[in-house]
């Protein structure tokens, strides 16, 4: 090995040892300096983990409904080019029957109407969504009947007052499933008999909780409870994911004919696929994740400014040391490298600590708050690289200031 290269390696090794020795000599100050980076990286990792977990949760919930499920909703009514706020176009049972009879790319049709009612059992009651639907609801919406049975076509034709309860409703009524089966409950002042209880979807409480609902035959809802034939939605199963476009085109053709819409007139209904929901909710979640991660990254910049401030103070405190090193032959590049290494080491160690803290925070959120979180390797790598970049960015100025000191003036510094 050439003598010059060997000497250069020794000088770099000596510079690194001096830099690490300076950090060890001021342990408390080094730890406090790293604190801003630790908090910043931890916040970024935890927020991204929470955003990814939310996105995974949305995808799993929608996938649980079935990837071939299409939903037809009433469209907005327009009067003289202005959307009506008080009314929407109507979907009726005749529309669902037309889809069932004429559809060739349709596996199943499940109409539903819904309204909120008080459900009373003994001296307990709860407000929930009562859905009038057909017996194929579990098949189309991917539910399982855990106790009892689903009502039948015969129950629907006879307009029987039978009901299938959601798991959350059973919990709210504080009743045991075995005790509620075949028990009378009152809905809207009318007595119904519980014939089945749905298995929980496992999505917990909150808005649009699929467990917080009860099912009754759609004929019973139309003629005995709600008194109208207005549907809130028609759910349709396509034969396969590949045939979804054909199914959507067929639904559009049948319903336009049912509603007697002229060519050039806009549809008065909307057809949505699960892919649309996944894309929309996924994009929304992604935007919020980036927004929160950007806010959390601001603390990384604050931590970097703190490191620059401490390094500037360190340069001032160690002016005589710098002068001695320069007098003994240390070059400007050696001094620059020493202070740059100190800044980068502080940021990298802070980044590692932040990753551990952020991972622990994500785990705590999933265990304590029952939020779904997912720590990705990419977010960890980005956080570490960003923290190292912060060290370089905010360490250059103090390092250059140290390297530019005149050795004679530095030795005279008091």
- Residue 1 belongs to some domain of the structure: no
Q: How many CB atoms within 10 Å of residue 401?
A: 17
162 and 256 in one domain?
Answer: yes
- Show which of 245, 273, 301 is a domain's final residue: 273
Q: Concatenated DSSP letters for 285-329?
A: HHHHHHHHHHHHHHHHHHHHHHHHHHHHHHHHHTHHHHHHHHHTT
- Show which of 250, 273, 296 is a domain's final residue: 273
Q: Which of 54-68, 232-246, 360-374 has the lowest mean pLDDT?
A: 54-68
Query: Does residue 411 register a pLDDT over 80?
Result: no
- Show which of 244, 273, 302 is a domain's final residue: 273
240 and 177 in one domain?
Answer: yes
258 and 230 in one domain?
Answer: yes
Query: Does residue 89 register a pLDDT over 70?
Result: yes
Burial of 177 (0-12, 13-18, 19+ CB in 10 A): middle
135 and 18 in one domain?
Answer: no
More confident residue, 359 or 89: 359
392 and 347 in one domain?
Answer: yes
Number of folded domains in the chain? Answer: 2
124 and 12 in one domain?
Answer: no
Structural domain of residue 261, as residue ranges?
A: 70-273
* Closest among 396, 191, 177, 181 to 308, alpha carbons compared: 396
Q: In whole angstroms, what is the distance from residue 391 CA to residue 393 CA?
A: 6
Q: Encode pLDDT of 330-366 as tens digits.
A: 777 877 787 788 888 888 888 888 889 988 988 888 8
* Closest among 153, 150, 128, 126 to 139, alpha carbons compared: 150
Q: Are strands 76-79 and 82-88 parallel, antiparallel or unpaired?
A: antiparallel
* Closest among 316, 276, 347, 329 to 409, alpha carbons compared: 316
More confident residue, 24 or 196: 196
293 and 250 in one domain?
Answer: no
- Residue 194 belongs to some domain of the structure: yes
74 and 51 in one domain?
Answer: no
Please state the rounded mean pLDDT for residues 55-66.
Answer: 66
- Residue 3 belongs to some domain of the structure: no
Q: How many CB atoms within 10 Å of residue 237?
A: 19
- Residue 152 belongs to some domain of the structure: yes
- pLDDT at position 233: 94
End-to-end CA, the chain: 43
């Amino acid at each position: 090995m050439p003598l010059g290269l060997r000497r250069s390696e020794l000088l770099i090794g000596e510079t690194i040892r001096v830099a690490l020795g300076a950090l060890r000599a001021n342990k408390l100050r080094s730890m406090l300096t790293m604190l801003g980076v630790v908090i910043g990286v931890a916040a970024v990792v935890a927020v991204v983990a929470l955003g990814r977990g939310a996105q995974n949760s949305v995808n799993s919930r929608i996938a649980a409904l079935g990837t071939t499920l299409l939903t037809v909703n009433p469209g907005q009514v327009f009067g003289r080019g202005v959307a009506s706020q008080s009314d929407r176009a109507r979907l009726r049972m005749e529309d669902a029957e037309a889809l069932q009879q004429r559809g060739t790319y349709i596996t199943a049709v499940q109409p539903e109407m819904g309204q909120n009612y008080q459900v009373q059992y003994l001296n307990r009651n709860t407000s929930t969504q009562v859905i009038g639907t057909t017996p194929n609801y579990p098949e189309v919406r991917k539910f399982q009947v855990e106790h009892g049975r689903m009502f039948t076509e015969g129950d629907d034709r006879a307009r029987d007052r039978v009901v299938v309860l959601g798991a959350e409703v059973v919990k709210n009524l504080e009743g045991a499933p075995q005790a509620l089966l075949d028990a009378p409950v009152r809905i809207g002042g009318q007595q119904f008999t519980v014939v089945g209880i749905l298995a929980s979807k496992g999505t917990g409480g909150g808005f649009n909780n699929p467990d917080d609902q009860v099912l009754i035959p759609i004929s019973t809802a139309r003629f005995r409870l709600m008194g109208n034939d207005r549907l809130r939605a028609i759910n349709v199963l396509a034969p396969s994911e590949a045939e979804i476009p054909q199914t959507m085109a067929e639904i559009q053709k049948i319903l336009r004919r049912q509603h007697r819409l002229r060519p050039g007139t806009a549809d008065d209904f909307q057809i949505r696929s699960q892919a649309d929901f996944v894309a929309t909710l996924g994009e929304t979640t992604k935007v919020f994740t980036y927004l929160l991660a950007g806010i959390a990254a601001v603390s990384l910049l604050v931590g970097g400014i703190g490191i620059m401030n401490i390094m500037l103070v360190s340069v001032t405190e160690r002016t005589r040391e710098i002068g001695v090193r320069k007098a003994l032959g240390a070059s400007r590049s050696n001094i620059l490298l020493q202070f740059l290494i100190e800044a980068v080491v502080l940021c990298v160690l802070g980044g590692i600590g932040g990753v551990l803290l952020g991972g622990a925070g994500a785990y705590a959120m999933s265990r304590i708050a029952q939020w779904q979180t997912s720590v990705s390797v990419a977010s960890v790598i980005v956080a570490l690289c960003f923290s190292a970049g912060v060290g370089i960015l905010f360490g250059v100025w103090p390092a250059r200031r140290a390297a530019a000191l005149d050795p004679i003036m530095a030795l005279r510094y008091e």
